[in-house]
Structure 1
Amino acid sequence: ATYLVKDLFDAPDDWERAFDFVLESYTLQVLPQSERYEAIRTIADFVKPDGRLLVICRGREATEPEGDLPWPLTKETLLRFEDEGLELVEFEDYYDNETPPVRRFRAEFERP
């Protein structure tokens, strides 16, 4: 495996649809809502055909307040990846083992 780190909003052009696997872990939830959907578009564009995206984040219901940083995401926010051409393969809604337990989402997407 090769791990690459770049500025999400200044990614190299040759990263477009270039990766078999992309991990988005706890980045979206620290971005203000005004930047979040651009980030979703950019991340989705990294996934090549037949590639996978795994998103891990804190979770909340759409009816719950966003609260303080890190802002938990809603399932509806994660489903924005479908608007960018990815298909939801699996979605997990669970509580971790922290004290107190924290709600988390794990979502796997694939580009057909």
Structure 2
Amino acid sequence: MRYERTELFKADYQQLSEHERELFRAVARIFNAACDRFIETKDPSSWPASLRVKAVVNAPGIFEMNWSFSGPDGRATWQWATVVTSNGVSVPAVRWRRIGGHQIFRQP
């Protein structure tokens, strides 16, 4: 799955500890595979229950995934996007918006 990152995501990511970054990178691999399945099937059951993927309340088109409720709180917000490959083909992508704890929902 292709992706892009907002400036807020980049800043949030820099604030994470190395352990939190490792946790995110591990779940991102699982998330990427689920994105590919979802794009292919459009089946909501493509999302692993452990990632708790759902729409963000009062933020149309923005979704969250959550991989940890307890130390450290691990959440990220994202939305579907389209990117153009080097050969000019438009393909689905994920735009990572925010990452961190529950506070990211103030500006998802």
Normalized against structure 1, the TM-score is what? 0.32
Instruction: Name whichever structure is richer in helix by fraction.
Output: 2
